[in-house]
Amino acid sequence: MEGKVFKYGDNVDTDVIIPARYLNIADVKELSTHCMEDIDSDFAKNVKPNDIIVALDNFGCGSSREHAPLTIKENKVQCVIAKSFARIFYRNAINIGLPIIECEYADEIDNGDTLNIDFEKGIIKNITKNKEYKINVFPEFIKKIIDAGGLMAYAKEIA
């Protein structure tokens, strides 16, 4: 997978990912138009399928709302890369089939860089900077959940 980077800093919380004032919107497509609005007002207009969000420490902190990873996925972001994630966000993302990668080198990746991610080999290639970063591959059970499109889809597959 290859995509352009939207870069953010530390402690991007779920209120920034999807502001609480929009949580009364039931339609996920409409809700996703407000994704990242308070930190990047043009994100939903500019993001393209397979683009990538990169952040630093503690991405997804704050409330445990599932809307946050859901609106990211609805915007066709291929994955989120960060130095670290809030645990509840991490699990919510996996549960809906949104790949998220912890990468200690996230600070070396800049807004607008183009990345190629090989999930099988555990390599992120920064095409813009001609650099490679080694990442951990997903454990097999997480890979199956992501490949199925989320935990519910996976449960249906194995039932």
Domain count, the chain: 1
Instruction: Give residue 63's pLDDT.
Output: 87
State residue 54's pLDDT score: 98
How far is residue 145 from each of residues 20, 67, 87, 151, 155, measured CA to CA in Å? 28, 18, 17, 5, 8
What's the CATH code of the domain at 44?
3.20.19.10
Per-residue model confidence as pLDDT tens digits over 123-149: 999 999 999 999 999 999 999 999 999
Does pLDDT of 159 surpass 90? no
The answer to whether the beta carbons of residues 154 and 145 sit under 8 Å apart is: yes
Beta bridge partners of 133: 124
Show the domain range for 65: 2-158
Pure H helices in the chain: 14-17, 28-31, 43-46, 67-74, 87-96, 140-148, 151-158
Do 44 and 90 touch, CB atoms closer than 8 A? no
- Measure the CA–CA gap between 117 and 150, rounded to whole angstroms: 20
Structure confidence by residue, pLDDT tens digits, 42-101: 999 999 999 999 999 999 999 888 999 999 999 999 999 999 999 999 999 999 999 999
User: What would you measure as the largest C-alpha separation in the chain, in angstroms?
Assistant: 45
pLDDT score at 27: 96
Looking at the DSSP assignment, which residues form a beta bridge with residue 54?
A: 7, 81
